[in-house]
Chains A and B, each alone.
Chain A
């Protein structure tokens, strides 16, 4: 079974730009969660989607948004990038909900200059 696939693996953007990251979950998994990982803050929850609906949202500004498609693939968007948005963005999928183990992709490394 293929794992969680995230594209692209690396991105370099300039302050003020926007960026879209993509995630393909494990086949059959309907829940997709997004996390931001930085050395200082660790893994921080961004949001979770289940059956195309945002089921939960973390404490991030509205510049961070996401969506899920009917095939469970998900995208997250960050608008008006700031230097502090530089991080590893991780996507994880699970069959049901956050009480189930999450299976992570290898992330997208975003650098904002």
Chain B
């Protein structure tokens, strides 16, 4: 069964303490993997798209990488403003067509 799993569910870091979030997926014929950031009370905000194994994308303190089975979101020297829920999503086929399916997210808390 196609699915998207994120770990850990929650992560608490000190400011400056680097770490990684994981998104593992099972889908045949990956057609992109998307990372989003969601702040409380707001909709998800698009961060990156990765299409092929070995691809990397960077934005400020965030770097996303992709392998054939999983993606990592590396956070280098995080700041309190990086606190948010990070979601990954993969297009998956269902009976009617293709839909972007989301993992349940990792809630990151960065304290100063």
Residues of chain A at the chain B interface (Cβ within 8 Å): 4, 33, 35, 41-43, 45, 48, 55-59, 90, 92, 97-99, 101-107
Contacts and interface: CB of A to CB of B under 8 A. Distances in A.
Interface of B: 31-32, 34, 36, 41-46, 49, 87, 89, 91, 94, 96-105
Contact of A4 (B32, B43, B99, B100): B43
Nearest to A92: B43
Contacts of B97: 48, 55-56, 98
Contacts of A98: 91, 97-100
A103 B104 contact: no
A101 B34 contact: yes
A107 B43 contact: yes
Contact of B45 (A35, A41, A104): A104
